Amino acid sequence: MTKVVKALLCIACLMLTACANKIGLNEKLDRSVKEYNQMLRWHEIENAGMTYIDQEHRAEYMKQAEVLKKRGLSVTDFRILSTLLIPEKQTGDVLAEFDYYILPSNRIKTVSYRQEWVYQESSKSWKIKSGLPTFE
């Protein structure tokens, strides 16, 4: 083979690898977002924090989770409104919406929740950097 053909094959392989990595990141982000938000929905707020919250933000998140648990927060539903993946930075921006009530009230309220996600190479997983939304 000539050097030109070898170089073209090498470039093609690199491009396919880059595309495969982007698809893999996107699928992993979608799965992580869905699992994290389902945990919040099913009253597993502490487990969601231990699984998906970035280490440096975990302590603050757990404080927020404890306060919400004591207040009687119940999430009744959630919707993922948008997901933006930035593969070059290995970050994701998610906008979710939660329907909830806080006892003793039975009035359903809705809150928007912007989630900042970052891919951690060390654990090969997506972690969330933003805290919980303000449930009033």
**pLDDT tens track for 9-66:** 555 544 544 444 455 899 999 999 999 999 999 999 999 999 999 899 999 999 999 9
The count of residues in the chain is: 136
Domains of the chain, residue spans: 44-136
Residue 90 CB coordination number (10 Å): 16
Going by C-alpha positions, the residue among 16, 19, 31, 17 that lies closest to residue 119 is 31
Q: Going by CATH, does the domain composed of 44-136 fall within 3.40.50.620? A: no
Yes or no: say if 109 and 134 are a contact pair by the CB < 8 Å rule. no
Yes or no: say if 107 and 101 are a contact pair by the CB < 8 Å rule. yes
In three-state secondary structure terms, 13 is helix
Specify which residues 100 forms β-bridges with. 75, 109
